[in-house]
Amino acid sequence: VVGTDTRKLVAIWEQTSLLSGQNLSSHLTPSNWTIKGAFVCFWRHIVTLKKRANTCEGMARRKKRGTWKTLNSCSATLSSCQSMEPCACPEESMFTAISHADVTCRKMEGYLRSRQLCDVILVAGERRIPAHRLVLSSVSDYFAAMFTSDVREAKQDEVKMEGVDPDALWVLVQYAYTGRLELREDTIESLLSASCLLQLSPVIQACCSFLMKQLHPSNCLGICSYADAQGCHDLQRAANAYTMDHFLEVVGGQEFLLLPVEEMERLLTSDEINVSNEETVVTSLLTWVRHDTDTRQPLLPLLLAHIRLPLLQPQFLADLESNPLLRDSVECQRLLMEGMKYHLLPQHQPLLQSPRTRPRKATVGAMFAVGGMDATKGATSIEQYCLRRDTWRQVATMSGRRLQFGVAVLDGRLYVVGGRDGLKTLNTVECYNPHSKTWSVMPPMSTHRHGLGVAVLEGPMYAVGGHDGWSYLSTVERWDPQARQWSFVASMATPRSTVGVAVLNGKLYAVGGRDGSSCLRSVECFDPHTNRWSGCAPMAKRRGGVGVATWHGFLYAIGGHDAPASSLASRLSDCVERYDPKTDVWTAVAPMSISRDAVGVCLLGDRLYAVGGYDGQVYLNTVEAYDPQTNEWTQRTNLDVRGHAGTIKYVLFIIVRN
């Protein structure tokens, strides 16, 4: 067909002189074409050729290229026109109306208000709302699916909207035309419900954001339940997090007393409840039961099973046994006895682990990272870790730079002991009160020490080993908080610097370290009642700068190095060993994700945390946690290290319990 049309055009071309300027419109009529749309495009091309031919340059170009090449160009143009492809337009000829969308929307809104061109009526209750299918479908996936599919409503003039508030529907129809709507407390829930049905994502997000700002202890439980019913997961998570954060205020409200048992059970199973102790959770449960004793008392065995009973104080457990709500229930008494057994048989606690022995995150206390090594060769910041949020924040700074110091908690206060300031080894001691956020100077040790280990055992605090700037130390000093003075106790059998210390089963353990010639595998423990050190089984690896912590009757040695300082990069350790004092045997467990020398280690809740350290090339601010029950390490949020040019190398940790 294209070829045929082209031959017709050639015939016209031959019969008519283009250069003479004769009018070709009498020849180029729609009757000459099989595709009428080609006429306009061809006519434009002919006019262009005519203009070119009227110039000398056009004459020369025509003579050089030949008439048939020009005709081939016309043929190609015809071909594109027959395929209905748009003709290219010069860019400078394009026009865009900046306010076109606004003007169009206002025009459509005018048609809505005057009820012109409306092609559907939405019926909600007694209200009839006229609208335009195209407008509704353009903003609502619900209406788009309804009006573009083969369903009955697609062809109906009236569509009945079941379960939609009429006023909310009218507001959303107006939104479809204007893109605006008013959010108010008295209509927000009906508006959100209708938006969820009509699948109006922008409105859903706006309503959820509005409700998040309205969260309060008196309404957070209701909003959480409502968000769950509507499938608004972000709002549900926000309301639930608010409930956990403000639990003590929430339990005093009416919504808490009216909670259904399923919601109460969900609350009790959460690790995120922000309480200082488990006794608070039990008290809240009993308050809820008393609000409707007849109905709720039979539910106590079910709900009490979610209380961390072994973590309650023994006296509180004894009081619960005689509580009128619990004393006649065999199952409740069995659960209470389980909690008592945990306290009566501490040696069997590793075998009694269960979900009820796992502490809630807010009850385990706070973990602090104190000082360390950074790019400025000495960090002074103190950062606090929030287990519930997995975040760090800076809470204080030390009075001056200290490296390789010891740290421990005694009577709810943080003691920073010894270390070096870059010029000399220190014997000074400072005490930080995390509640008043103040520092105080304590009496100094008798010996200057850096690379020492510090731990608290049965009241007194011990400073173990270290280096005095001249030699490696085996001496040990004990701080008596009542007498406020330091005194020497029995020395270790081996001098140890960068030693790891921890308390287990009433004894103080000194693990690894350096003695001046090499790193050590040896371990010894101190009995404060006999004032004697005794040897323990050695570790499988030599470890200086080792991190040490205990968990349920076991001692863990984590990271460190086993080579002289000149070759640290090639001899760092990621391995972890576990010591069982009953069998006097060390066992290898899962290694860390990376090697860490001078790593800070601490037990927080039911996890061992390894933070910071040195990997042989850079100082670290990374954190990972070990679960002894699954034998797995997982990554945690890095230290903030705010105000530092580098990251932490040597970090020491403490826990201040609530």
**Placement of tokens 């070829």 in the chain:** 3
**Residue 326 clears pLDDT 90, i.e. is over it:** yes
Burial of 530 (0-12, 13-18, 19+ CB in 10 A): exposed
Q: Is the pLDDT of residue 115 over 90?
A: no
| Distance (Å, whole) CA 475 – CA 307 | 46
Residue 113 pLDDT > 60, yes or no? Answer: yes
Nearest CA-CA partner of 466 in 430, 504, 425: 425
Buried b (16+ CB within 10 A) or exposed e, 477-504: bbbeeeeeebeebeebebbbbbbbbbbb
Residue 63 has pLDDT above 50, yes or no: no
pLDDT in tens, 569-612: 557 889 999 999 999 999 999 999 999 999 999 999 889 999 99
pLDDT tens digits for range 118-153: 889 999 999 999 999 999 999 999 999 999 888 787
pLDDT at residue 149 in the model: 84
Strands (DSSP E) found in 64-220:
120-124, 127-131, 158-160
Packing angle between helix 188-198 and helix 166-178, nearest 10 degrees?
70
Let me know if 149 is exposed, middle or buried by CB neighbors in 10 A (0-12, 13-18, 19+): exposed
Residues 6+ apart with CB under 8 A from 203: 172, 175, 181, 191, 192, 195
Average pLDDT on 237-241 reads 96
| 35-60 core/surface letters (b: 16 or more CB in 10 A; e: else) | eeebbebbeebbeebbeebeeeeeee
pLDDT tens track for 10-19: 455 444 444 3
Question: Per the structure block, which two tokens stand in for 14?
Answer: 């031959």
Residue-wise pLDDT for 525-571, tens only, equals 999 999 999 999 999 999 999 999 999 899 999 999 987 655 545 57
* Average pLDDT of span 359-364: 90
Q: How confident is the model over 304-326, as a mean pLDDT? A: 94
For the question of whether the overall pTM of this predicted structure is more than 0.75, the answer is no
Which SS3 state, helix, strand or coil, does residue 315 take? helix
User: Residues 49-57: contacts with CB within 8 Å, 24+ apart?
Assistant: 49/18, 50/18, 50/19, 50/21, 53/18, 53/19, 54/19, 54/21
Average pLDDT over residues 86-111: 74
Tokens 């729609």, residue? Answer: 30
List Cβ neighbours of 612 (8 Å cut-off, separation of 6 or more).
Answer: 369, 372, 596, 598, 599, 600, 619, 620, 621, 622, 623, 639, 647, 648, 649, 650, 651
- Mean pLDDT across 336-348: 86
The count of other CB atoms within 10 Å of the CB of residue 196 is: 18
Three-state secondary structure string covering 240-276: HHHHHHCHHHHCCCHHHHCCCHHHHHHHHHCCCCCCC
Mean pLDDT is highest, among 130-139, 155-164, 243-252, 637-646, for 243-252
Structure tokens at 12: 């016209």
Distances (CA, A) of 558 to 153, 223, 599: 69, 46, 8
Residue 620 and residue 611: Cα distance in Å, rounded?
A: 8
114-128, 249-263, 437-451, 479-493: which has the minimum mean pLDDT? 114-128
The answer to whether residues 385 and 391 touch, using CB atoms and an 8 Å cutoff, is: yes
Which pLDDT belongs to residue 106? 83
* pLDDT score of 70: 38
Report the 10 Å Cβ neighbour count for 371.
Answer: 25
HEC sequence for 504-536: ECCEEEEECCECCCCECCCEEEEECCCCEEEEE
Report whether pLDDT(49) > 70: no
Q: What is the mean pLDDT of the chain?
A: 84
- Check pLDDT > 70 for residue 20: no
Cα 538 to Cα 16, 495, 512, 541, 580: the distances in Å are 111, 15, 9, 8, 12
Single-letter code of the amino acid located at 127: R
- Residue 333 pLDDT more than 50? yes
pLDDT of residue 247: 97
Contact 153, 161 (CB under 8 A): no
Instruction: Determine the Cα–Cα distance for residues 403 and 640; give it in Å rounded to an integer.
Output: 19
Q: Give SS3 for 419.
A: coil
CA distance 317 to 337: 9
Place of tokens 């304590």: 442
Confidence of residue 5 (pLDDT cuts 50, 70, 90): low
Token representation of residue 519: 């790193």
**For residue range 165-205, what is the model confidence (pLDDT) as tens digits?**
999 999 999 999 899 999 999 999 999 999 999 999 999 99
Identify the residue with better confidence: 576 or 106: 576
Give the model confidence (pLDDT) of 463-478 as tens digits.
Answer: 999 999 999 999 999 9
Q: How far apart are CA 471 and CA 655, in angstroms?
A: 31
- Residue 512, amino acid: G
Cβ-defined contacts of 290-297 (< 8 Å, 24+): 290/325, 291/257, 291/258, 293/325, 296/261, 297/325
Domains present along the chain, CATH in parentheses:
2-85 (no CATH), 113-214 (3.30.710.10), 259-357 (1.25.40.420), 364-656 (2.120.10.80)
Backbone angles phi, psi at 322, to 5 degrees: -100, 5
pLDDT in tens, 415-447: 999 999 888 999 999 999 988 999 999 999 999
Calpha distance 383→404 (Å, rounded): 17
CA–CA–CA angle 157, 158, 161 (5° rounding)? 150
Of 68, 71, 64, nearest to 42 by C-alpha is 71
Least confident of 70-74, 237-241, 540-544: 70-74
State residue 244's pLDDT score.
96
